[in-house]
Amino acid sequence: MKLSLKDKTAIITGGGSGIGKAMSETFAEMGATVFILDMNEETGSQTAHNISLKHNPAFFYKCDVSKYQNVEKVISEINRIKNGIDILINNAGIGFVGNIENTSEEDLDRLYSVNVKGVFNCIKAVIPYFKEKNKGIIINMASIASSVGIADRFAYSMTKGAVLTMTYSIAKDYLVDNIRCNCISPARIHTPFVDNFIAKNYPGKEKEMFENLSKTQPIGRMGKPQEVANLALFLCSDEASFITGTDFPIDGGFIKLNG
């Protein structure tokens, strides 16, 4: 069966909700044993439970990706349990709206700690196990903000630009170890985060703002978490074995067709 992940072990950070949840469910459906690393115990454990009822057993670990000691301990335990790790998805991330004038030092540090250091920590912890097996797959979640300027996204864009360049560096440095590293750059994807953002910032105008945000993609709508999960599935499959060091926009034409 094409795109099979049978007998693969996949770690998905932020795998309890939104895009991460879609990836966790899709990978499990295609045969992988999924380990969800998330700070939200409720959504993380519920997603793992639901997957276990439908597919392979899935597991949840509460993990703060910004803390290397926490990350290293969890990934070491997963490697011990499964005698190897095949896939790492760096999906955990946080957003922020603002230009440099209304971005505080604390805001910048908070985004850096999760969006940049979190990716660093997870890759650093998993690389030794990938090298032991002489193979491994890493997918980092970047953003269209990694490649084009977006108004009022200064700190967020900075962190996602770092994710993009980290992807290139890891892919280059570990070619000899048969480790593939790519990143995915979504435009707006319809997740609970988007709904909560609109409700908080535009009370009473939710429908209007949803339509406005949807139209910023030339294709005329937001993406679906499942569409991002399908792309991640392909990139982690044997069918993508010739692909590394590449950014994959999934943006409804945003980068190339706007303007």
Q: CA–CA separation, 209 vs 213, rounded Å?
A: 6
Instruction: Catalytic residue, from 156, 168, 174, 202: name it.
Output: 156
Burial profile 137-158: b = 16 or more Cβ within 10 angstroms, e = fewer: bbbbbbbbbbbbebeebbbbbb
Helix (H) or strand (E) holding 141: strand 136-141
Q: What is the DSSP letter of 40?
A: -
Reported as half-sphere exposure (CB side, CA atoms, 13 A), residue 134 has a value of 1
Whether 156 is catalytic: yes
Closest alpha carbon to 121 in 74, 177, 155, 82: 74
Residue type, 115: N
In 10 A of CB 58, how many CB atoms? Answer: 26
Q: CA–CA separation, 224 vs 90, rounded Å?
A: 18
Q: 3-state class of 76 per DSSP? A: helix
Helix, strand, coil in percent for the chain, rounding step 5: 50, 15, 30
User: Would you name the residues annotated as active-site residues?
Assistant: 156
